[in-house]
Chain A
Amino acid sequence: MPDPSTTHGPTPSPTAPARALRLGVCGPVGTGKSSLIALLCRELSERLELGVVTNDIYTDEDARFLRSAGVLDADRIRAVETGACPHTAIRDDITANAMAIEELEEDYEHRLEMVLVESGGDNLTATFSPALVDVQVFVLDVAGGGDVARKGGPGIERADLLVVNKTDLGPFVGVDVPRMVADATAARGDRPVIGLSRTDRDSIDRLLAWVDNRLAEHRAGSLVPVDPGPMAAHSHAHEHTHTHDQGGEPVGVHHH
């Protein structure tokens, strides 16, 4: 008999069978997605049952990086081929990733508490389908240029968390890190931004606190996946008075 719980995507219903929190990490190539996942594994694997699904464009490159980092048992790190379509694999056909997550959960007898899903790296419009992950982190890095946060886009504006990575590199690449974080914050309304560096313990602790809070919400059944969508923020001056994409005002999900 078909079992809806195995065929549907993430469901926030508190009556759903317990399953791992699915946390997506996406963002442009080279911003430090794999390093962020390695960091989370290193910090959390002592106290949480973790699994990782990677989508490197060359299938197993990221998986091999994570396995060689020794932060997690190699069998808990699964690589998924995307046929050079990393965007498709997290958005319009999530099948391969969803199957990899389900297989990890089955192989570990549903003891996993969190599965990290790493996107293959794509452009600024790529975000996870809410059917694949419960919560998503968009990663930028200081070395990619101080103006990227100002460019906006769904991940930057509306991912559950924006990480501005490699803040320690600011002086070497001529980027004003506080300015970049402030730009990112302005683009996101109330949504959080963390300027992260593996040499900055305080930033790591803030990241872990954010993850722990999402996990607590997931366990309580109160975490509802929010879709950043692919659309740019828009203006519609003919409607009522808000002017959310002008003058540095927060732009983001808005309700009409």
Chain B
Amino acid sequence: MTGPVHADLVLMLLADARLPVAGHTQSGGLEPGIRDGLGPQDVPAYVDVRLRTVTEVEAATAVLAGRLLRTGAPDAAWLDLEQAWEARTPSPALRDASRRQARALLRIARRTWPAAPAWEALAALEHPSRALALGALAGHLGLEGRAVAHLVGYDDVQTVCAAALKLLPLDPGSVVGWVVAALPAVEAMATRVSSVAEVDDLPATTHPLIEVWAQAHAATTRRLFHA
């Protein structure tokens, strides 16, 4: 980018499903949830519970990664953050899915912004999580903490809702209504995490059922979505 660009444009770019980062392979855990009995009527509550648990952890971690990048934190700080995320993401399947998403994101991001200092920062980690990769990239592109949290929250809502359209008998118009209805919860989550300044501030909220579903899904056959 050689001219001034408003952060809104960067946010739109990163939130756009057309960004080729294999977003279409993800259901945000909805596919195994449906296998275990979730129905169309449960999707809004599922979105909401994610925003208050796993997605809040993801967003807070990404916000802090962006902050580490802006402050030029040493390798040890990146390792601490990744470990803190691991400790808050006990399901190996969820960690693996996150790292695959990070790999997809970094594949295109390294090509698009080859000189970004974010890549040197992430070099301390062999397989960074999506939260760290996305946070570092967003930080490099000038997104503030709240915008990073918006990005993670909004993407999670859309990932689940788009997968719901594939998996359940739904009217796309109704699903847009669910996304809009979830936006205040995205905003509230962003408010909770946007000022996270150090690892000890990270929330440690998780949801055992989401973890159980993720573990079951990784072992199943005939999946439509990776996770």
Q: Do A and B form a real pair?
A: yes
| Chain A contacts to B: CB under 8 angstroms | 1-2, 4, 6-8, 57-61, 64, 80-85, 88-89, 92-96, 98-99
Interface residues on B, range: 20 to 34
Known: A82-B24, A94-B20. 5 other contacts (CB 8 A): A83-B26, A83-B27, A83-B226, A92-B18, A92-B20
Are A58 and B222 within 8 A (Cβ)? yes
Please indicate the chain B residues that have their CB under 8 angstroms from the CB of A81 in the complex.
25, 223-226
| Chain B contacts to A: CB under 8 angstroms | 18, 20-27, 100, 103-104, 107-108, 110-111, 114, 119, 163, 166, 221-226
CA distance A61 to B25 in the complex (A): 16
Are B223 and A99 within 8 A (Cβ)? no
Are B103 and A99 within 8 A (Cβ)? yes
Are B24 and A58 within 8 A (Cβ)? no
5 nearest CB pairs, A to B: A7-B111, A93-B20, A58-B222, A95-B22, A2-B110
Are B24 and A89 within 8 A (Cβ)? yes
In the complex, the chain B residue whose C-beta lies closest to that of A8 is: B111
- Chain A: minimal CB distance from B63 (Å): 25
Given contacts A60-B222, A93-B23, A96-B22, contact A4 B111 (CB under 8 A): yes
Please indicate the chain A residues that have their CB under 8 angstroms from the CB of B107 in the complex.
6-7, 95, 98-99
CA distance A6 to B107 in the complex (A): 8
A-B contact pairs, 30 of them (CB 8 A): A1-B119, A2-B111, A2-B114, A4-B111, A4-B114, A7-B107, A7-B111, A58-B222, A58-B224, A59-B223, A60-B221, A60-B222, A64-B221, A81-B25, A82-B25, A83-B24, A83-B26, A83-B27, A83-B166, A83-B225, A84-B166, A84-B225, A85-B24, A93-B20, A93-B21, A93-B24, A95-B22, A96-B22, A96-B226, A98-B107
